[in-house]
Amino acid sequence: MRRAPFLLLAAIVLLADQFTKYWIVHSLETDSSRELIPRVLYFTRTTNSGAAFGVFPHATYLLALTALIAALGIGIYAWRQYWPLPWSCGMGLALPLGGALGNFIDRVRLGYVIDFIEVHIGNYVWPIFNVADSCICIGVGTLVALAVKSQSQTTERQKEVGSIPS
């Protein structure tokens, strides 16, 4: 992935996050819900002044600073890499960059994050989240998977050349 598609993907995530939050604010009252897939998927508009899953309630500005530092860190790290990046690595960095910026904007502008996606799996109700949260999780999951795969390949190569015992 080259720099332009990397930046474009991060921008698409940011715009999709902000658009869906704008749409939900104009479609549902706070704490109201609309069922999309019976007993599975709902749009439930809520606000979150804390971190994921309601951890650190009312830590909005600390979390805004954390999101800004994360976005800057990802941006600086990505910019200093040799380009083009492997597509999966570029995606793994661009998704959380756009997501962190989306939640940062909410925290600075509103003092909280707008969440609205509610998923039920049997009797379990997943904490309500948004597009930015999804992209952060997918991006970080991609990076973890790449790191595990890379470590596995390194270990296999070391075994082949006899540098570590089998």
pTM of the model: 0.85
Give, for 157, the enclosing helix (H) or strand (E): helix 131-161
Burial 129-145 (b: 16+ CB within 10 A, else e): bbbbbbbbebbeebbee
pLDDT at 53 over 70: no
Domain ranges for the chain, please list them.
3-153
Residue 130, pLDDT score: 96
Q: How many Å separate Cα 78 from the centre of its chain?
A: 16
Report, as residue numbers or ranges, the catalytic residues.
Answer: 115, 133
User: Which amino acid is present at 31?
Assistant: D
Residue 159, pLDDT score: 72
pLDDT, tens digit, 9 for 90 and up, residues 120-135: 999 999 999 999 999 9
